[in-house]
């Protein structure tokens, strides 16, 4: 097992990142916040939603495999019951870094998705948010990182 900070740093060292679960109606959707922040921080970010073709002026892809030239990492910010499908797609595409997003509530964390990814040698961060760690972080997410650590929704190890 590795410390979450080390796994987060490795994840955020990737420059091409897909974010699943972005919404056409961004209000209150964590995926949209993650997508925008990573883009603002200079990442090449790709929105994934099978029901949209564009999100905030950017192309949106129906699945991870539709992204031209692929990605290095994926933030899964869908309902938990869809997470295992996303992780299986990552395994098939050879993507080594997956973050199952969760701050409060169930989020995208799925024990089946986590186990599947890890048994296929993928680093799966099962909880928390990439925006809680530098270089993507901000003061509000630093506080959320602390709160989620106490509440147990952010893993301490991966």
* DSSP string across 50-107: TT-SEETTEEEESSGGGSTT--SEEEE-S-HHHHHHHHHHHHHHT--EEEE-BSSSST
Report all structural domains of the chain as residue ranges with CATH numbers, in order of start. Answer: 4-151 (3.40.50.720)
**Residue 154 confidence (pLDDT):** 82
**In this prediction, what percent of the chain has a pLDDT beyond 90?**
73
Answer yes or no: are the C-beta atoms of 92 and 110 closer than 8 Å. no
Q: Model's pTM, two decimal places? A: 0.94
**How far is residue 15's CA from residue 72's CA, in Å, rounded to a whole number?**
7
Pick the residue with more confidence: 154 or 32? 32
* Partners of 121 in beta bridges: none
* Partners of 76 in beta bridges: 20, 100
Answer yes or no: are the C-beta atoms of 143 and 128 closer than 8 Å. no
Digit-coded pLDDT (tens) for 116-127: 999 999 999 999
Digit-coded pLDDT (tens) for 2-39: 899 999 999 999 999 999 999 987 666 789 999 999 99
Determine the Cα angle at 140 with ends 158 and 136, to 5°.
55
Half-sphere exposure of 29 (CA within 13 A, CB side): 20
47 pLDDT higher than 90: yes
**How far is residue 147's CA from residue 119's CA, in Å, rounded to a whole number?**
30
Digit-coded pLDDT (tens) for 66-83: 999 999 999 999 999 999
**How far is residue 82's CA from residue 54's CA, in Å, rounded to a whole number?**
21
Confidence label for 151 from pLDDT (cuts 50, 70 and 90): confident
**Residue 156 confidence (pLDDT):** 82
Tokens of 89: 């797609």
């Amino acid at each position: 097992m590795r410390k979450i900070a080390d796994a987060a740093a490795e994840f955020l060292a990737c420059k091409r990142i897909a974010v699943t679960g972005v919404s056409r109606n961004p209000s209150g959707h964590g995926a949209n916040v993650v997508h925008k922040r990573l883009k603002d921080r200079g990442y090449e970010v790709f929105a994934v939603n099978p029901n949209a073709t564009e999100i905030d002026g950017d192309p949106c892809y129906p699945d991870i495999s539709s992204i031209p030239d692929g990605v290095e990492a994926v933030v899964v910010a869908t309902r938990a019951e869809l997470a295992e499908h996303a992780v299986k797609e990552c395994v098939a595409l050879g993507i080594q870094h997956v973050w199952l997003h969760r701050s409060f509530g169930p989020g995208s964390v799925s024990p089946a998705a986590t186990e599947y990814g890890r048994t296929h040698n993928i680093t799966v961060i099962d909880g928390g948010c990439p925006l809680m760690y530098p270089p993507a972080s901000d003061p509000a997410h630093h506080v959320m990182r602390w709160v989620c650590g106490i509440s147990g929704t952010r893993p301490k190890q991966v």
